[in-house]
Structure formats: structure tokens, C-alpha cells
Amino acid sequence: MAGLSGEVAEIIQVMAEIQDRMGEKRKEVAEFPNYRSLEIG
């Protein structure tokens, strides 16, 4: 079962990276409120 804990740690790291990226995207949207309207039009 030693290998399993390594896999779990990898999954946790990947999830943390995804959350970091989502947080960065939220910051960008907060700084540029008309970001979505620029993308659409």
C-alpha cells in the first residue's frame, strides 16, 4: 500500500494546482470586469 499514498499525494497536488489556476482566473476577471464582454464581442 506504500505506492497508493504516493498516488494520493499526486492527486492532491494536481487538485491544488487546478485550484491555483482557477484562483488566478478569478483574479483576472475581478481586475477586468468587461473581460467576458470583450471575449463575446
Domain boundaries, the chain: 2-40
Task: Please state, as a whole number, how many other Cβ atoms lie within 10 Å of the Cβ of residue 17.
Answer: 10
pLDDT at residue number 8 = 92
Question: What does the pLDDT look like over 7-41, one tens digit per residue?
Answer: 999 999 999 999 998 888 777 767 776 666 655 55
Residue 38 confidence (pLDDT): 58
The dihedral through the CA atoms of 28, 31, 37, 41 has a sign that is negative
Q: Where are the alpha helices (DSSP H) in 1-41?
A: 2-31, 35-40
pLDDT for residue 30: 72
Residue with cell 471575449: 39
The per-residue pLDDT for 36 is 61
For residues 28 and 34, the answer to whether their CB atoms sit within 8 Å is no
Q: Which residue has the higher pLDDT, 2 or 10?
A: 10
Q: Compute the chain's Rg from CA coordinates.
A: 17
